[in-house]
Amino acid sequence: MFNPKKIALLAILIFTAGFFIFQYFQKTEPIQASASDNVSGYAWSDNIGWISFNNTSGGGSAYGVSVNPNGGKLSGYAWSDNIGWISFNEADLTGCPSGTCLAKATPSGQLGKGDVDILGWARALSNDGGWDGWIRFDHGQASSTYIDSTGNFHGYAWGSDVVGWISFDHGKPNPVVLNLSGFNQPPNKPGIPDGYPANGVVENNCSIQSLYIPTFNWTYSDPDGDLQGGYQIQIADAVSFSTPILDETIGSASVSYTPTPVWISANLNWGVTYYWKAKVKDIPGNWSDWSDYKSFTIPSHAYPWIDFNWLPASPKAKESVQFSSTSTTFYGVGGKSWAWDFGDSSTASTQNPSHSYLADGTYLVKLGVCDNSNYCCIGANAKQKSVQISLPLPEWKEVAPF
Rounded alpha-carbon distances, angstroms, from residue 242 to 237, 247, 292: 10, 11, 15
Rounded alpha-carbon distances, angstroms, from residue 96 to 51, 73, 123, 134, 159: 21, 16, 9, 7, 12
CB hemisphere CA count around 48 (13 angstroms): 25
- Superfamily in which the 201-297 domain is placed by CATH: Immunoglobulins (2.60.40.10)
- The residue among 91, 105, 169 whose CA lies nearest residue 137 is 105
Give the residue with greater pLDDT, 128 vs 5.
128
For residue range 43-57, list pLDDT tens digits in order: 999 999 999 998 864
The pLDDT value given to residue 127: 57
The arithmetic mean of pLDDT across residues 112-127, rounded, is 87
The arithmetic mean of pLDDT across residues 114-122, rounded, is 93
Q: What is the DSSP letter of 12?
A: H
Q: Which of 33-37, 167-171, 214-218 has the lowest mean pLDDT?
A: 33-37
The arithmetic mean of pLDDT across residues 132-147, rounded, is 88
The pLDDT value given to residue 339: 98
The pLDDT value given to residue 140: 77
- The residue among 39, 36, 34 whose CA lies nearest residue 52 is 39
Beta partners for residue 118, in sequence order: 105
For residues 172 and 175, what is the distance between their CA atoms, to the nearest angstrom? 7
Query: Contacts by 319-324 with C-beta closer than 8 Å and gap 24+?
Result: 319/356, 319/357, 319/392, 320/354, 320/355, 320/356, 321/354, 321/355, 321/356, 321/357, 321/387, 322/352, 322/354, 323/348, 323/352, 323/353, 323/354, 323/355, 323/365, 323/367, 324/351, 324/352
The arithmetic mean of pLDDT across residues 370-379, rounded, is 96
Rounded alpha-carbon distances, angstroms, from residue 267 to 211, 212, 262, 273: 12, 12, 9, 12
With a cut of 50, say whether residue 211 has pLDDT above it.
Answer: yes
With a cut of 70, say whether residue 64 has pLDDT above it.
Answer: yes
The pLDDT value given to residue 400: 73
The pLDDT value given to residue 1: 45
Label residue 131 by pLDDT band (50, 70, 90): confident
Domain 308-389, CATH: 2.60.40.10
The arithmetic mean of pLDDT across residues 302-323, rounded, is 97
The pLDDT value given to residue 58: 44
The pLDDT value given to residue 57: 47
Rounded alpha-carbon distances, angstroms, from residue 87 to 19, 53, 93, 228, 378: 24, 10, 8, 39, 74
Percent of the chain with pLDDT over 90: 67
The arithmetic mean of pLDDT across residues 75-93, rounded, is 91
Percent of the chain with pLDDT over 70: 87
Give the residue with greater pLDDT, 394 vs 353.
353
For residue range 5-33, list pLDDT tens digits in order: 444 444 433 433 443 333 333 333 333 44
Q: Which of 99-103, 291-295, 315-319 has the lowest mean pLDDT?
A: 99-103
With a cut of 70, say whether residue 102 has pLDDT above it.
Answer: yes
For residue range 239-298, list pLDDT tens digits in order: 999 999 999 999 999 999 999 999 999 999 999 999 999 999 998 888 999 999 999 999
**156 Rama sector, left if φ>0, alpha if ψ -120 to 50, beta otherwise:** beta
Q: For residue 87, with 0-12 CB atoms within 10 Å meaning exposed, 13-18 middle and 19 or more buried, which class applies?
A: buried
Beta partners for residue 123, in sequence order: 87, 134
The pLDDT value given to residue 59: 47
| CATH 2.60.40.10 placement within the chain | 201-297, 308-389
Cβ neighbors of 12 (< 8 A, separation 6 or more) are none
Could you give the dihedral angle defined by the CA atoms of residues 22, 28, 29 and 34, in that order, rounded to the nearest 10 degrees? 100
- In degrees, rounded to 5, the angle at the alpha carbon of residue 136 between the alpha carbons of residues 131 and 138 is 175
Give the residue with greater pLDDT, 234 vs 169.
234
For residues 164 and 151, what is the distance between their CA atoms, to the nearest angstrom? 24
pTM above 0.95, yes or no: no
Residues counted in the chain: 402
